[in-house]
Structures are given as structure tokens and as C-alpha cells.
Structure 1
């Protein structure tokens, strides 16, 4: 009997096997961790880095050299998460929902970008464009890995100003990091002299894309709500499944349209989810849409951490330098908390809540997307070193914020 090739599986079959494992892990691991401080992302990171440490190099190309796949996967993770975040806001267009987040977006975020960029340029020796990129990608907080500090699901009333501020901030600052990432790209492509790019950047990358992304989100969210909520409800057992699939449409339709109009799809997706939620605050669709979005998000997180584990166990070991640990600690424990407190100065929040909101930022799937997006559009000096520093910040954030979030939030800001 001919046995040649019997143990030479097709790459497609390997992919199916891997996807099956990913879905199983995404469903089961969070259930085992509900009573522990450790979060699912920490478990994924430890498992993936440990497993792939024993794999030969070349399983995946270095993300700096081939950023496309990582960019697309992180992109999908972020937009799915932004949909879930938007659906959580009970009063998405009320000033009460944005009074603290607005300060974090207008004051804290630009200040964080400036301080990290200055630190990277003057003290770490990065080229100006690369330093600007570091500030842009590390300033936004993450809606993907921070579900444990976000506000309540749609069927519950928002009871925590801390969680509400963190959720609304994370919903928009992922999109608002785009203009500054594009600024870094412009600096890398044409030079650091603002006269060569500032006007085009201000008109196109700042005003047009932000305004257009917001308008597209408002219109598509409103239209989808009118269409979906006016349709007859399915009278069969598959209604929950068909309703769940609407979450994909609520994510992909606004995002695709925004990207075709050359605007910021991240802003569009979040605003569309907010507009959708605004049309109906009690409809049972909301809970199904939110829960399904989070399930997709969990699956994508496992896939993303597989890629991150491959990079950590191979590429990061070559790119890493020891100064990155104190530099990352400074960004996570000093710069973000300091700029957060500055942004919240003068508000009526209790001091403990100001500290909580200021402390819990970063985490990083959005940061990975932005740095890979930048690498896909321009060549940056010290790019591998910059990617290693961003990854170090993300790893520290996942452990510091992940291990502390449950006990700290339970003690100082229970739902």
C-alpha cells in the first residue's frame, strides 16, 4: 500500500484545524478564569509565546517586513470591538456620557502623543518621524482587551462614571489616532519640515476624514436601525442566529463605505453603533448584537495572540533592547496616568475615580494595527526597534492592567 504523502496535510486542512482550536479556546478559557485575577489575554499571551518558542523561525514573516496580514487581522478585531463598545452606551449622544471622555480625547490624548514623541526623540534617540509614530500608536486606549473595565452590556443601566468614561474614550480615540499616525507617515515620506505637508494633513487627514467618518457613521447607523427595527421579526428558531449576523452588517457596511470615501472607518463604526443604539434602547436585538460582537472579538483575539506569540518568541528576541523595559514602564505608569489626571483636572469626579480613569489605558491591539498600518505605507528609520518597544509596552500593559483591573475595579468602582 502506498503511504507516500499520507502525513503531508494540505495547508487548508491545517487552517481548518487551527480555526477549530481557536474557537474552542476562545469559548472555554474565559470560563475557567472567571474566579481568578488572570485575564484571558494574559493566558493567550503565555500560551502562544510558550508554544511557538519551540517552533522554527519563519513560521510567519517578521511583521515589520510583511505587515499586511497583521494589519488586516488587528483591523478586524478593532472594528468588531468598536461595534460592541458603541452598543453599550445607554445614552450615546447625551453630554453625561461624554463629559469626562471629551477631556480625555481633547486634552489627554494629544498631550500623551506629544510627551511620548518627545521622549522617544530626545531620550531614546528615535528619528522624529519614528518618535511621532510611537506617540500616535501608544496614545489610544484599547476597546479590544479591556472589556473588564468597560461599561455594562445594553440590557443593564450604566452605573459607573469610571467605566462609562473609559468605554466612550476607547470608542473614539482609536479613530482619532489616525490623523497623528498619518502625520508620522507624512514626516517619513516627505520630511519633517511642516511646510511640506501640514496644510494637506490638516485639511484632508484631520478635518475631512474625521468629519466625513462621523457623518457616515450617523447616517448608516440611523438607516440600519430604521431598516432592522421595522422588519418583521423571524418566526422560527433561527431568529437569534439571523439577528446575530446583523452585527457583522452593522460593522462592515459602515466601515466599508467610510473607507471607500477615504475617511476614518474606526470613527464611523463606533458612531454607527451609537446611532443604532440611540434609535432603540430596549429592543432585544441590542443584546444579541452586542453578545455576538463580543464572541467574534474573543475569537479574533486568540488569532491575534497567536501572531503576537510568534513574534515574541522569535522576532522580539532579536529586536529587544534592555532600555525598553524602563521606557515602557514610564509610558504605562507615568505618562498616561499623568496626562489623564491633567485632562480630568477641574471635574467633579472623586479623586479615586480620576486615578482609575487615568491609570487604565493602552493594552494594545489598536497600537499593533497602527504601527503595522504605518509600516505598510512608509519606511521608518529604526522600525524594528520601534515595533519591539511598542510590543514591550503592550506586554507590560496586558500584565499590569490585566492583573490589577478586576480587584481594583471591584474594590474602588463596582458596577
Structure 2
């Protein structure tokens, strides 16, 4: 189609989603399922208007997948409000470490012993499919506030943390595939790619988010400066934290997530002798212009504005990337391996990998099976697939990685999208009958 045709199509699509949004929410479908189906209709298997060949166009599409992933990680950091000292963080940390390592190992074992892959290729497959998606897990909502329900909080935290934690295993797989060991040796992989990359990335993001957030709040509340342009504040933090982390060989993904976490925790800096605005909580009866320069409300106004814009940007990124996943399915060969590998991963390997993280945790009824089931694959897996394809692997391996990854992501979007609402209704019904104790929920 020509550019005018595409602009008309995009305009009709976006306006249709607005006008039909309420009706679509009543259907047992997630928004990602709608985007996926539409992408397939536009793709080479149907209309042929969208032809995103993942092997030929990996270098072109990888930056878009990375940008979408960064936006979702920053949004997750802004949303997860539990104090960093809260015990609620232990479970997502264990899911993003113990469970991720377990899943990479389980998939690598299947790849080596059943698919007949060399060890490096099997590790690559595990690393690509290990990350879960905090955006597509929106059917299991993560509550804001300091005492959120552990289910949604843990899934969102896991999805944000393991997107960065999977990167060293991608590097490990590429090194094993090329030379039989990590690119520059095992010591460097462990100390630099794992320990330094994770720790430095989190530290850089935390320092930037906290310092810039506090500076903006100080300038607004004390000097009525740095007003507006909250759009640039969020994008600037994403770009700066990611770029600085990359310059020192740290994890840009974890840096962006940590910057959102730190910005969310910037406190108010009230003037001596001043009083908060009256009316509803946090001065909600007052406009943004008044709240943003008031020393009791400047931080909340800043966070609200950044969250609003970043949330909308996240929806656009989800639409574009899942449309492309639907279009890419035309290039994912439907092989016999897909028929058994996808259910094995979602129904067996994911629950097995979660078990070490849940050991010793005091969970409310229904939380353990929900955590085992909702390991949704999405943008993280797509990004790492494109990264591996851009680095170059032989044609048979590239074809296998494309097929298994894309059909896993598509199946996850459909299965988890269909089951999210009924499973959540049942879980919430059980939760309402339970006393709300700090350890169990």
C-alpha cells in the first residue's frame, strides 16, 4: 500500500479501538489477542500487506522491540510502589533469578536431548524464551500502593527484572555456539556480564531516577522552575539511564527499570510553615498547574503526569509490536516440534521452573498455581530473538528459533488472554473470603 493508504488504515484502526474499546472489554479477549489476530490478517498468510520477515529484517526491527521493552520496564518501575525493604520483593527477585536460571536450564536440556541442538543453540533458545512480559500480564493487575497483592506484584516484578537478567544467558549462548565458551572466558561472563552488569545497571538507574526526580521537585516547589514537559522527563530518564549503563557495560534494561522505581519514590519537599492543599486527598480538586508548584504536591503531580504519558506510550508500543508478531507468524514454519514444544514449555517447564522460587514462601490459596501459569511470553522474547538473528546464526537454527519463539509468544498471548479473566475472578473470590494478613497476600 502507498503511504496515504497506510495513514488512512492506521487512522481507522486507532479510532476504531477508541470507539469500540468498551465493547471489546466485555469480550473474553485481551487487547493483545485482537492485535495479534489483526497482524496475522495483514501478514503474508492472508492479505500480505504486512511482511515483517524476522530473519531478513532483524536489524531493522530490533531497535523498535528494544524501545518498546524499555518503555514497558520504565512503566513497571513507576507502578510498583511497595517499599524496597518490603518482604514482597523477595518473591519477584527469586522468580527473576532462580526461576529464570531453572527455565534456561530446562529448555536447554530439551533442546540438547530432544531437538538435537548444540549446547550453545539450546542455551540461546532457553534465554530467548525465559523472560516474561509485564505488559501482557495486565490481565493479572498489579496493584499500586505500599501493600499490593502479592500475585500481581510478583508477576509484574518478575517480568521487569528477568528481561534484564536474561541478557547474560543470551551472551553465553552466542559464545558457546561460536567458540564453546563465553566470548571472553567464564570469569568475565560471571563477574562482568552477570554480577557487574546487574548491580551497576540497578545502581545507575536508581541514582539517576532519584537525583533527577528530587531536582525537578525542588525546582518546582521552591523556584517554580522546570515546569511542564513531563513527557520529556520520562523519555529523558529512559534514554539517559539506558545510555549510561551501556557505556559502562551494565544492563540498560535494569537501569531503566530502576530509574522508574526511584522516580516513583521521590518524596515531597514541603516548605517550612506551609500546609497541603485542602479538598480531596493529595489536593485532587486542584489543577496540575497548582499542584506541580506546591511543595506538598509537586512530586505526586510529577509522577502522575509521567505515568499518564508513559502508560499511553506503552499501549502504542504494545499495539505495534504485537501487530508485528502476528505478521511474523507467516514466516514461522509450523513444524511438528511446535506441536509438542509449546505446550511442554507453558504447561510443564514453566511450573517446574517456578517451584524453586516458591519454596518456603507463605502464599495465599490460589497464588502458587497462578504464578506457575501466568508466565506470559511477549516483547522480551521477541527482542532477544531479533538480537540473536542480527548477530547471525545459520539458516536452519534461525528458522527453528523463529518458529518456536513466535508460536510460543502467540500461544501465550491467546491462552493467557483467554484464561486471565475467569482465573482472576476465581482468585479474587477466594481472596475476599480470606483475612488480609501481611504474609499471605
* Shorter-chain TM-score range: 0.7 to 0.9
Partner of 1:369: 383
Map 1:327-342 onto structure 2 (within 5 A).
327-342=341-356
Secondary structure at the counterpart of residue 125 of structure 1: coil
2:77, 2:257 within 8 Å by CA — same for their partners in 1?
A: yes
User: Does 2:217 match 1:225?
Assistant: no
Partner of 2:75: 84
Name the structure, 1 or 2, with higher relative contact order (CA <8 Å, separation 6+): 1
Partner of 2:198: 210
Map 1:106-255 onto structure 2 (within 5 A).
106-153=97-144, 156=145, 158-190=147-179, 192-193=180-181, 197-232=185-220, 242-255=229-242
1:113, 1:135 within 8 Å by CA — same for their partners in 2?
A: yes
Compare 285-294 and 83-92 and name the one that shifted more. 285-294
Give, in angstroms, the shift of residue 100 of structure 1. 1.2
User: Does 2:368 match 1:354?
Assistant: yes
2:350, 2:373 within 8 Å by CA — same for their partners in 1?
A: yes
Structure 1 residues 224 and 413: alpha-carbon distance in aligned structure 2, compared to 1, 3 A threshold: farther
1:87, 1:273 within 8 Å by CA — same for their partners in 2?
A: yes
User: Does 2:340 match 1:315?
Assistant: no
Map 1:45-56 onto structure 2 (within 5 A).
45-52=36-43, 53-56=45-48
Cα distance per residue 1:53-105 (max 9 Å; x no partner) = 33348x54521232122211111111111111111111241232312112212
Q: TM-score normalized by structure 2?
A: 0.82
Partner of 2:247: 260
User: Does 2:294 match 1:303?
Assistant: no
Between structure 1 and structure 2, the one with the greater Rg is 2
Cα distance per residue 1:188-211 (max 9 Å; x no partner) = 222x24697322322321122222
Contiguous gaps of at least 5 residues in structure 2: 269-298, 432-441
Match of residue 419, structure 2, among 401, 404, 407 = 404
Q: CA RMSD in A?
A: 2.7
Separation in structure 2 between the aligned mates of residue 117 and residue 80 of structure 1, nearest angstrom:
29
Match of residue 265, structure 2, among 278, 281, 301 = 278
Separation in structure 2 between the aligned mates of residue 150 and residue 105 of structure 1, nearest angstrom:
18
Structure 1 residues 33 and 131: alpha-carbon distance in aligned structure 2, compared to 1, 3 A threshold: same
2:83, 2:146 within 8 Å by CA — same for their partners in 1?
A: no
Separation in structure 2 between the aligned mates of residue 249 and residue 195 of structure 1, nearest angstrom:
32
Partner of 1:395: 410
Cα distance per residue 1:226-281 (max 9 Å; x no partner) = 12222327xx9xx7x73344222232221122223332111000011111112238
Separation in structure 1 between the aligned mates of residue 305 and residue 207 of structure 2, nearest angstrom:
22
1:25, 1:302 within 8 Å by CA — same for their partners in 2?
A: no
Q: TM-score normalized by structure 1?
A: 0.87
Secondary structure at the counterpart of residue 99 of structure 1: helix
Contiguous gaps of at least 5 residues in structure 1: 1-7
